[in-house]
Structure 1
Amino acid sequence: MVDLTNPMAMHGGNGPKVHPHAAIASEDKPIQLIDIPLDAWRALEARAVEPNGYYLADWELAVNASVDGLTDASSLTAWANGKLIGLLPVISLRRAHRLPLPVLVNADAYGTLSTPLLDRDDTRAAATALFAQARQQGARALVFHSVSLEGPAMAAMRDVLAQDGISPRIITSHVRASLDATRNAEDVLRDGLGAKKLKELRRQRNRLAEHGEVTFHVARTPDEVAKALDTFLALEAGGWKGKRGTALKQRAGDETFIRHATNALAVRGQCEIVTLNVGDAAVASGVMVRHLDRAYYFKIGVDERFAKYSPGVQLTLDVTRHLCADPAIASADSTAAPGHPMIDPIWRERLAIGDVVLPLYKNDPVASLTYAVLSLRHHAREAAKRMLQQLRKR
């Protein structure tokens, strides 16, 4: 009988070699997120080779403490000379997908990005150590959902695995909208939307102004963010998300998480809430997270009574100008679904995102089985969606 807790069992004791530069993780058992020293986590955030606003400590710990189904996550951590150089929140494949296989999956951080935090000065060593710790815990593979496919973090993980003749296996991939905030905002908007569409949007804005002065506001301080969040939550709950029962305000754990996360991040200058007002009334609002030189457009809510004036688009035009005018921001991730009808035409840069299986051993049957099952599930879901769309058209 194979011992699935022993990383060498299925390979006759011949596991992947440990490379000399590796900073081997200090634990051979799961580490709870809440047990990671906060100062070390935040220091790694500042040194990350690739940003991920959804794995900031203040965000992920708020998710882990409050959101139904997403609490009590563990983590893989990499340390070197007493310094945290790598971090990936994880849960078991059994918990994530009800598959009883020795595989770890990135923990859902209530945001569509799972890129691990890797130290820019020790990126490959950090990746090596995370893999080593996963093996020590008995894992045969890692599964990433919505990971950046072309950034330096994935490049480092590919390189480390390649030394053992291992390649990642992509379950599915897509591109989503992003903003090059180093460009002039008006050039971005003109290139994306074209002169005719911009003229139409100006006309809509002028009509919107007939209901009151149109103004754009950015909440930054904790007090400002708390007040603006109330507005955002009310707008989101009053729209289609409220009708579907998926608005943050409709679930106590979700509301607790977003209140705690935005407050804590605002204290550190890592959260903004943007609002478009008509007179004294808000018609659109959005939450943005900031990490290093990247912003993340988390969610927006709109007053659907003003739908004919495109309030979400109007807000995003102002957000584009706001981010392009900020020298601290080089890019923005829409974190939107591929082909999103609102933001794709405005932000024309693209980020490659995918679901990936990273085998931890060469020719490993558990990794292959995981890939096969998750791929089959993905294709089945996509086929069901297409059938439903066809039925709706009849």
Structure 2
Amino acid sequence: MVDIAHQAAINPASAKHAAATRALVPLTAIDPGHWRALAQRAVEPNGYYLPGWALAVSATARGRTDAAALPAFDGSSARLIGLMPVISLWRAWKIPLPALVSAHPYGTLCSPLIDREAPIEAAAHLLQQAREAGAHALVLTDVALDGAAMNSLKDVLERDGLKPRILGSYMRASLDATQDGETVLRDALGAKKLKELRRLRHRLEEHGAVAFEVARKPDEIRPALETFLQLEASGWKGKRGTALVQHAGDATFIRRAVLALAETAQCEIITLRAGKTPIAAGIVLRHQDRAFFFKLGIDENFAKYSPGVQLTLDLTRHLCADSAIASADSTASADHPMINPFWRGRFAVGDVLIPLRRNDPVVALIHGALVGLNAAHEAARRVVRRLRK
């Protein structure tokens, strides 16, 4: 599955094709045990590039199947020290130029896995693998711009006289879970807002005792996931046709991924109930000391009680009380109206163009095409916003 820029980057009849095939392999060709070991040593956590999650996405998720991988191996021991799931620029955006793009893992974080014990070697090998695959550039989407993985790549690029180009960025909400949960909420929301939310919780209790549940084990997580899927499909996502359970491939992916990560204690489903009625649920991934708040579903019949907000209150307390978790990534969009007031930490996320050769005119073409694509997308978003108004 070597598919760089609509076959523009590789001549199948040449020796380069054989080298490219070795450099760019199917994601399923990576040994899961070696992948899990790398994830434990990764310099920066990314729950969406854990093997249980990424392989489920690549197997069935709508529009995201059959991703490839740029692997990096230690020269002396053949140990996996780096991994970057990718697709071609042609497949990503129908641009017929020789570049590779981060394979989107359904979550909004594509920072590659780089071994903390050999970050420079791993980053250098990943860039070299991309060159051998025929790419002139890498396009990393939704990466933590100041994260350890990106910093390792920057160090190698600087050494080689190259410089990444930021195509766009935004600030994303995160939680410092090393603090006391009540202190975090009081500092973020203030006493008046918390009092109002307690009033709503008391009114919600008229429908039955309010309980926050956390499912972790596979036998617990199966029914909790089905509850989440039903809640998500019952709301606005269901009306728009974007709920996970509405598409066979997406439903298969999430069921596989959640169960796979539950086996390694890297996923939990949180549910808020009023009596026996589930009114909100969410999926949380865990990688090293970081949590990732993937998705939220609510029963809109209880909208006046702010069920998503009530669930997030309890999730914040839950994560802050967990000594294994130091931080949480909201994985939300910029200016998200629900999570931003709660989680006041911020970090920069963006799309980055990484040139692989110095003074390469092809990189300028790739950059120009991406700038034009972004401008077209922004113009379309403005039209949509006007139509909604």
| TM superposition score normalised by structure 1 | 0.92
Q: Say if 1:123 and 1:156, in contact at 8 Å, map to a contact too.
A: yes
Correspondence list, 1:241-256, <5 A: 241-256=237-252
2:69 to 66, 75, 83: 75
Partner of 1:238: 234
C-alpha separation between the residues in 1 aligned to 2:22 and 2:98? 15
Deviation by residue 1:300-357 (Cα, 9 ceiling, x = unmatched): 0000000011000000000000000000000000001110000000000012100111
1:364 to 360, 370, 374: 360
The alpha-carbon distance between structure 1 residues 255 and 391, as it changes in their structure 2 partners (threshold 3 A), is closer
Partner of 2:254: 258
- Structure 1 spans left out of the alignment, 5+ residues: 7-24
- When the two chains are superposed, the root-mean-square deviation of aligned CA atoms in Å is 1.5
Shift of 1:363: 2.3
What is the DSSP-based 3-state SS (H/G/I as helix, E as strand, rest coil) of the residue aligned with 1:356?
strand
Correspondence list, 1:1-394, <5 A: 4-5=9-10, 28-80=22-74, 81-393=77-389
Percent identity, aligned pairs only?
Answer: 60
Q: Say if 1:140 and 1:367, in contact at 8 Å, map to a contact too.
A: yes
C-alpha separation between the residues in 1 aligned to 2:133 and 2:383? 41
Paired positions, count: 373
Deviation by residue 1:155-193 (Cα, 9 ceiling, x = unmatched): 110110111211111110001111000011111111111
C-alpha separation between the residues in 1 aligned to 2:369 and 2:128? 25
Partner of 2:15: none
Partner of 2:4: none
Partner of 1:17: none
Shift of 1:100: 1.0
Which amino acid counterpart does residue 41 of structure 1 have in structure 2? W
What is the DSSP-based 3-state SS (H/G/I as helix, E as strand, rest coil) of the residue aligned with 1:72?
coil
Deviation by residue 1:221-258 (Cα, 9 ceiling, x = unmatched): 00111010010000000000000000000001101010
Q: Say if 2:282 and 2:296, in contact at 8 Å, map to a contact too.
A: yes
What is the DSSP-based 3-state SS (H/G/I as helix, E as strand, rest coil) of the residue aligned with 2:193?
helix
Which amino acid counterpart does residue 90 of structure 1 have in structure 2? V
Shift of 1:383: 2.9
Shift of 1:392: 4.1
C-alpha separation between the residues in 2 aligned to 1:151 and 1:247? 31
C-alpha separation between the residues in 2 aligned to 1:64 and 1:205? 40
| TM superposition score normalised by structure 2 | 0.93
C-alpha separation between the residues in 2 aligned to 1:43 and 1:33? 16
Q: Say if 2:10 and 2:20, in contact at 8 Å, map to a contact too.
A: no
Q: Say if 2:38 and 2:80, in contact at 8 Å, map to a contact too.
A: yes
C-alpha separation between the residues in 1 aligned to 2:20 and 2:265? 32
Q: Say if 1:26 and 1:78, in contact at 8 Å, map to a contact too.
A: no
Shift of 1:362: 1.4
Which amino acid counterpart does residue 241 of structure 1 have in structure 2? K
Partner of 1:12: none
The alpha-carbon distance between structure 1 residues 90 and 204, as it changes in their structure 2 partners (threshold 3 A), is same
What is the DSSP-based 3-state SS (H/G/I as helix, E as strand, rest coil) of the residue aligned with 1:286?
strand
What is the DSSP-based 3-state SS (H/G/I as helix, E as strand, rest coil) of the residue aligned with 1:374?
helix
Which amino acid counterpart does residue 279 of structure 1 have in structure 2? G
Q: Say if 2:20 and 2:132, in contact at 8 Å, map to a contact too.
A: no
Q: Say if 1:27 and 1:133, in contact at 8 Å, map to a contact too.
A: no
Which amino acid counterpart does residue 283 of structure 1 have in structure 2? I
Deviation by residue 1:272-301 (Cα, 9 ceiling, x = unmatched): 000000000100000000000000000000
C-alpha separation between the residues in 2 aligned to 1:261 and 1:32? 18
Which amino acid counterpart does residue 243 of structure 2 have in structure 1? A
What is the DSSP-based 3-state SS (H/G/I as helix, E as strand, rest coil) of the residue aligned with 1:201?
helix
